[in-house]
Each structure stands twice: as C-alpha cells, then as structure tokens.
Amino acid sequence: MSPNRWLRISYRVGAAVDAVAAVQMLRARLFGLGMGISGSPAGEDYRYAMGMGAALMLGWTALLLWADRRPLQRRGVLLLTVVVVAGLAANELVAVRAGFLPIAPVAAIWTLQAALIVLFLRSYVVASRGAALQAKASDPE
C-alpha cells in the first residue's frame, strides 16, 4: 500500500472516530449509554466541560480532514494526534480509578485507542520512509 494511502486511511478513520466522540460528548445520554453509566451525569458543570471537549474534538476532526488534503506534507499531524489519544486514555484511567467510569466500556475504548495509535504511527513511519526515498531519488548527487 502506498504511503499516501496509509496516511489517508489514518486521517479519515481518526476524523470519523473524533466526530462520533464529539456527538457522544454533546449528548449526555449517549455518553452514559456508551460508558455504562446509569442515569444522566449531566449537571451544568458536566455539560460545560463536555461542551469544551466536544469543541476541541470537532476541531481535531477538521484538522485531520485538513491534513488529508496534503497527506505527505502534513503527516506530522498524526504524531500530534498520538499525543492527544494517549492523553485521552490517561484521562480515562483517572476516571476509572476515581470510580466515575466502569472498566469494561473503557477497556473497549482503550483497545480502539491502541489500534488508532498503532495505525497512526505505522502510517507516519511508512510515509516518512517514502518521503525520504523520494528525496533521495530526486537528489542530483
């Protein structure tokens, strides 16, 4: 598979996952269902924090779609995205340890996050190797 194909798959999968997460964040009931939380956790403070998170998630969706327009040149976006995904996983760990989230649904999310990190890193490495080979091939020396 070509480096651009790897990158485009990564950008588009990441954007789709982020868009779904944003919708879930904006709908407390959907979040509760997805996370195995009974009742609605939606107090004003919760809605405010999740609204901020959803705005950032939608912004990251747009960033990934922007990177898809020039996949090879913007491949660094994937490394930034790995940092964000790892940060989300760490935040979920804090929520599980605090007893806010049950482990079972979070374990499924961690599996998804691990798969995304592997995909993003693999795509970045393949694309970087491809870019290095292109640069070497076009070097007149």
**3-class SS of residue 10:** helix
**3-class SS of residue 101:** coil
- Residue pLDDT, tens place only, 86-134: 999 999 999 999 998 899 999 999 999 999 999 999 999 999 987 777 7
Residue range(s) defining the domain that contains residue 67? 3-138
Q: How many domains does the chain have?
A: 1
pTM above 0.85, yes or no: yes
* Pair 132, 75: CB distance under 8 Å: no
